[in-house]
Amino acid sequence: MSDDELSKRLLADAENYDPAAHTRSLLMPLRHVLLLQRAKFMSYEQISATLAKHGMTVSPTAIGVFCRRHFTKAEIERVRRERASRPTPTPADQLPGLITSTPPPLRQHKVTTTTEPVRRGPRIARDDI
């Protein structure tokens, strides 16, 4: 291949390049999930490990780049505030048929009281006087 032909091919590739076509991401469908995980203070490594458990191999660096590009700090803080304002479900709410409300067991052990003042710390030789 001559230099002139190579130059023409490279020039044609450069002219046909569409930068908008290459900004799509595999993580875009998981945007809400990633936003929630970042709002819960999960690190990029933890998010990567979670995705790997579900069969999606993504490097922590790629997750970091995606999060910095698509999330603002204000958006993450907004999700944190929304989650904090919601009442947290109790186990009885999540599994109503399996958990019964029973009172806690009574104390079975004996509590002893001493009349001597309790000395704290190690005993040293002058304490015996």
Residue spans of the domains in the chain: they are 27-88
The answer to whether the CB of 87 falls within 8 A of the CB of 43 is no
Output the pLDDT for position 109: 62
Min mean pLDDT across 3-12, 28-37, 85-94 is at 85-94
Output the pLDDT for position 89: 66
Q: Convert the pLDDT of each residue in 34-93 to its tens digit.
A: 999 999 999 999 999 999 999 999 999 999 999 999 999 999 999 999 998 887 666 666
Of residues 114 and 9, more confidently modeled: 9
